[in-house]
Amino acid sequence: MLDFTSDPYRTLAPVYDSLGLSGESEAYIKKVLEAMDKLPSGAKSLDLGCGTGKVSILLSLSGWSAEGVDISSEMIAMARLQALEAQALVDFKKQDLRAIDIKEKFDLVTCFRTLNHLNEEEEIEASIRAISRSLKRGGFFACDFFFPRAFPQEFTRVLMSPGVYLIEKGSPKKEDLLERFCIIFKKKGELFEKKECSILERGYSKDFLLKTAQNHGLKLIKTWGIKEGKFLEEEEKYNLFLFRRD
């Protein structure tokens, strides 16, 4: 099970946006909004695992009443700063998705680049149960999800932005578990500061996701395959899902 107390995003938060790591979530929410029924201005949204707040900020600037939660204090701080700079009104809170306490009802709940960080089926089940309870009747839930076969053999990728370099090494631990080990070099004066962190991600079967969603009153509306940054009609190893609450 992933030890969230080590908080790898404390290391990633300061460079997350500059390395383009939040861009995928922005693309996902734009695709989801295209597929949803038109909702009145002021509809309520909640982004789980909100990171630096890109999804919530985009929704707020589009007329939504937006909230975002994340387990990382550093990510929440970045999100609040960016919302202030964008003049977006968003309520950001620090919460653990595995023990989420949602009192309100929302028209849309999003959860991008997050569910596969939950390494136990019981955690996925509890999270989706809480998400379903937080939705209004007819409300939408959007998430991305990858399956065990999405894990390649060991891989390395390098991301760069001015003054920042990230080397990521992926190492499958078993068929459904991947460890991402990240080394970050960030320029500090004339030198580079080095930091390291690791993240575990687990792949689950499509049947498990759909059955869990169905058990909690969520009906699948649309699926997009994602490959090399493009949205496809056919299923891929990595997919974007849109559900509606009955």
DSSP for 62-131, please give it. TT-EEEEEES-HHHHHHHHHHHHHHT--EEEEE--GGG----S-EEEEEE-S-GGG--SHHHHHHHHHHH
CA 69, 74, 75, 80 torsion-angle sign = positive
What CATH number should be reported for the domain holding residue 85? 3.40.50.150
| 195 and 226 part of one domain | no
* pLDDT score for 37: 79
Edge-first strand listing for the sheet containing 164-174: 155-161, 164-174, 177-188, 191-202
CA nearest neighbour of 196 among 170, 168, 177, 173: 168
| 163 and 216 part of one domain | no
| 58 and 106 part of one domain | yes
Residues of the chain scoring pLDDT < 50: 1-5
Please state, in angstroms and rounded to a whole number, the distance separating the CA atoms of residues 243 and 217. Answer: 9
| 53 and 162 part of one domain | no
| 32 and 94 part of one domain | yes
| 57 and 178 part of one domain | no
Task: Count the neighbouring beta carbons within 10 Å of the beta carbon of residue 56.
Answer: 29
What CATH number should be reported for the domain holding residue 186? 2.20.25.110
The pair of structure tokens assigned to 30 is 């734009």
Pick from 185, 201, 217: which residue ends a domain? Answer: 201
Rounded to 5 degrees, φ, ψ at 187 are -65, 135
Number of domains present in the structure of the chain: 2
| 175 and 117 part of one domain | no
- What distances in angstroms separate CA 50 from CA 5, 55, 140, 151, one per listed residue? 18, 7, 17, 24
* pLDDT score for 1: 35
Pick from 201, 217, 237: which residue ends a domain? Answer: 201
| 11 and 125 part of one domain | yes
| 163 and 240 part of one domain | no
| 61 and 164 part of one domain | no
| Domain membership of residue 166 as a residue range | 150-201
CA nearest neighbour of 79 among 64, 94, 65: 94
| 37 and 129 part of one domain | yes
Three-state DSSP state, 219:
strand
Please state, in angstroms and rounded to a whole number, the distance separating the CA atoms of residues 138 and 201. Answer: 31
In contact, 45 and 108? CB cutoff 8 Å: yes
* pLDDT score for 173: 84
| 61 and 156 part of one domain | no
In contact, 16 and 75? CB cutoff 8 Å: yes
Three-state DSSP state, 183:
strand
Q: pLDDT digit string (tens) for 123-134? A: 999 999 999 999
CA nearest neighbour of 24 among 240, 222, 204: 240
